[in-house]
Structure 1
Amino acid sequence: MSVFEAALDRIFGNPSMAAAVWISAATSEERPIRVIRRAPDRITEFGAGRFVSDTMMVDVRVSDVPDPRTGDLIVIGTDSFTIQGEPTRDRERLIWSLDLRPS
């Protein structure tokens, strides 16, 4: 295990990280996971206008969800979200960043 993997285990193991459930759209497999929630504003330019929209993103360990796909569900508490767009990994290939929309 690398030092990065050990650090991520400590970060994601912290009780303040959100507990969630990943549900595969293809197989209906369910798996409990830990996520880091992010909700950055996204600025989109259209012609001369700029639009600010809310987003919901989560970071998930690759070891928890090896192959997330568009359409999979992430349930955090009573809130359900669908993965939209292509999941992306960090440089070390240890963390997925998932763009979500409410289900």
Structure 2
Amino acid sequence: MSAFAAAVTALFADPNIGGDAVYTPEGGAPVLVRIVTRRADAVTDFGDARIWSDTTRVDLLVTEVANPRPGDRVEIEGEAFLIQGEPVRDRERLVWTVDLRPA
């Protein structure tokens, strides 16, 4: 394991940064995973209007979730979400970032 991979794993394990979630691939069995949650506001320009919306993005370790797909389910503290859009991996191929919507 590289030093960078070890650092990323430590960040996910830190209880101040990472948290537990249940990841369920479509048609598969649930798996307990560690996540880093980002719930930022998004502002989208649409013509002359600006639209504000809540977003929920989470980071997943590639070692725990090999191939997340749109429609897969993530449950965080009893709240269910579905992955929307294509997941994106970081440059080092260690972390998936996925956009979620309420299930």
CA distance in 1, matches of 2:52, 2:3: 38
Q: In the alignment, residue 81 of structure 1 is paired with which amino acid?
A: F
Q: In the alignment, residue 24 of structure 1 is paired with which amino acid?
A: P
- Which residue of 2 is the match for residue 24 of structure 1? 25
TM-score, normalised to structure 2, is: 0.94
CA distance in 2, matches of 1:48, 1:2: 48
Give per-residue Cα distances to partners, 1:63-95, cap 9 Å, x unaligned.
110000000000112101000000001111100
- Which residue of 2 is the match for residue 75 of structure 1? 75
CA distance in 1, matches of 2:12, 2:54: 24
Secondary structure in structure 1 of the residue aligned to 2:11: helix
RMSD: 0.9
Runs (4 or more) in structure 1 with deviation over 3 Å come to: none
- Confirm whether residue 33 of structure 1 aligns to residue 58 of structure 2: no
Deviation at 1:23, TM superposition (A): 0.2
CA distance in 2, matches of 1:34, 1:11: 10
- Which residue of 2 is the match for residue 51 of structure 1? 51
CA distance in 1, matches of 2:55, 2:9: 26
Number of corresponding residues: 102
CA distance in 2, matches of 1:24, 1:3: 30
TM-score, normalised to structure 1, is: 0.94
Deviation at 1:15, TM superposition (A): 2.4
* Percent sequence identity over aligned pairs: 44
- Which residue of 2 is the match for residue 61 of structure 1? 61
